[in-house]
Amino acid sequence: MIKELVFRPQDIGNADDIKAVLSGKSGITKNKLVILKSYIDARKKPDIKICYRVTDEVQPDPSLPVFIHKDKKFNTTSRPVIIGFGPAGMFAGLVLARYGLKPVIIEKGRDVDSRTRDVNIYKKDGIIDPSSNIQFGEGGAGTYSDGKLNTGVASEYKDFIYDVFIKNGAPEDIRYDSHPHIGTDNLVNVVKGIREQIISLGGEVHFEEELKEINLLNYARPVRSEGITTDKGYYPADKLILAIGNSSRDLVRQNCKLLGITSKPFSIGVRIEHLRHDIDTAMYGFDTALYKNIFAANYKLAVDTSTGNKLYTFCMCPGGEVVPSASFKEAVCTNGMSYRGRDGINSNAALLIPFNPASESEDPLYGMIYQDYLEINAYKLAGSSAKAPFMTYGDLRRGTSGSSFTSVRPTYSPGAVPCDFRELLRPYMIDTLVEGVSLMGRKIKGFDSDSAILTAVETRSSSPVRIPRDKESFMSEALEGIYPCGEGAGYAGGIMSSAIDGIKCANRLAESMLL
């Protein structure tokens, strides 16, 4: 029996026990009640509806679609190796460990506790550790991007991924919320729990260790992986998952020809910030701070401009902050994050313009080179101080610069400096931002306010390269035994899609080891 329940915000927004309220209205006893979906219907303001779909039906085991090789026998004379311990690497490692294949995982960055200390130093003092930052380390870039699990990818693995996160400390509502959100403050413990589970099943996780060379059996046809050399030793590896993340610059440069790497479209832009109160009021008609069970408003926008370019929002962080996400010294790159409470003074999102590097150069690494160029010049534009360049939308629209702070203050740490983006971005990008934000203001009242803050530069929303792989086996087209995986390999974009790809690659690899 499935029931649709509708509430006014005041009826459930501050309830101490949501399940008890749902049980009372649905007639389903609390211990049998399962929440399938929750969402906010704000189409007819001020008549806002808080909607739940509930059932008393027993839900299927979410692990069944994942472990397709359960109870089968494998050739265990060698152990699979995984490079990278972000969402793709974590879930690939977890699946392989549950099959009893004892994966060895190599991660360039540090464990999440050490990494958190390094990130806090970066945010406070502007001192970056190139091996341990918002891009590199346990949990990948997603650990510090608040754990948004939204994805446009349809997959039967989603419930399993939710289940793993919940069992390791994520809030239960990620299973049914229309905007599932773990929160950075929860994620640091979640990723530790997944790591401990992999180790308990015989896997290994090696931090602060960097892949230096893929060793090949050159006499074999086709050429295949034999092992890897890291800065700390050699590992046999005839089965190797490359879950490298989208910022693995050195690895991509060193192995471009070996892996047949190609360029891939990505996006370039800035972060936009508004007062959370203003976005909440525009979206819902009230300030979500009034309710403990109604979180700050989300939005997702896309517009076509007369420049011929699209402008779209990405990685929207309700009640969040803009964070420093460079992976090398003397560079500025922005990202966004929010904590579980989503109760910060501002809400922010990336404003992105699609960019195809192949239209400008035949060099497969041109996109990565251009990313570096923008990040280095953003650093210089802001005075080479690790602070980020910012403008108000009003200044960008009027073609002026250097305004003092408005009612909206930049949240970027270690600080932001008023600058003119025309010294950084191409003219068509400026025109697209100006027109695009204006058009978005027709969809959300006040989005195009002159006081909105724009912070540059956002370049790491997705990988600028792809490592070609076979569509069926998921194995590299260039080297046998290697499985390109996740966002850095060009097959995902975000936590959920990366985790899904990690599961797929793990199952393809496991299939190759069946007796």
Percent of the chain at pLDDT > 70 equals: 98
Q: Residue range 209-224: average pLDDT?
A: 85
**What integer best gives the mean pLDDT of the chain?**
94
Percent helix, strand, coil in the chain (nearest 5)? 30, 25, 45
Report residue 379 as tokens.
């650093």
| Number of domains the chain contains | 3
pLDDT of residue 73: 97
Same-domain pairing of 343 and 444? yes
pLDDT of residue 186: 85
Judge whether 90 lies within some domain.
yes
Same-domain pairing of 320 and 387? yes
Q: Render 330-392 in DSSP notation, one character per residue.
A: S---EEEE--TT--SSEEEEEEEEEE-GGGT-S-TTHHHHHHHHHHHHHHHHTTSSS-EEEEE
Judge whether 68 lies within some domain.
no
Q: Is 383 exposed, middle or buried (0-12, 13-18, 19+ CB in 10 A)?
A: exposed
Domain enclosing residue 94, as ranges: 81-261+465-512
Q: Residue range 287-305: average pLDDT?
A: 96
Domain boundary residue, one of 458, 483, 502: 458
Same-domain pairing of 447 and 332? yes
Judge whether 184 lies within some domain.
yes
Domain boundary residue, one of 55, 73, 89: 55
CA distance 327 to 343: 28
Nearest to residue 137, comparing CAs of 89, 67, 96, 104?
89
Judge whether 62 lies within some domain.
no
pTM: 0.95
Phi, psi of 23 (to 5 degrees): -65, -45
- What b/e sequence results for 46-65 when a residue is b if at least 16 CB atoms lie within 10 Å of its CB, and e otherwise? eebebebebbbeeeeebeee
Bond before 171 cis per omega within 30 degrees:
no
Instruction: Kindly report, residue by residue over 423-457, the tens digit of the pLDDT.
Output: 999 999 999 999 999 999 999 999 999 999 999 99
pLDDT of residue 142: 78
Same-domain pairing of 335 and 375? yes
pLDDT of 141 above 90: no
Instruction: Kindly report, residue by residue over 241-263, the tens digit of the pLDDT.
Output: 999 988 888 999 999 999 999 99
CATH number at residue 124: 3.50.50.60
Same-domain pairing of 449 and 361? yes
Same-domain pairing of 212 and 87? yes
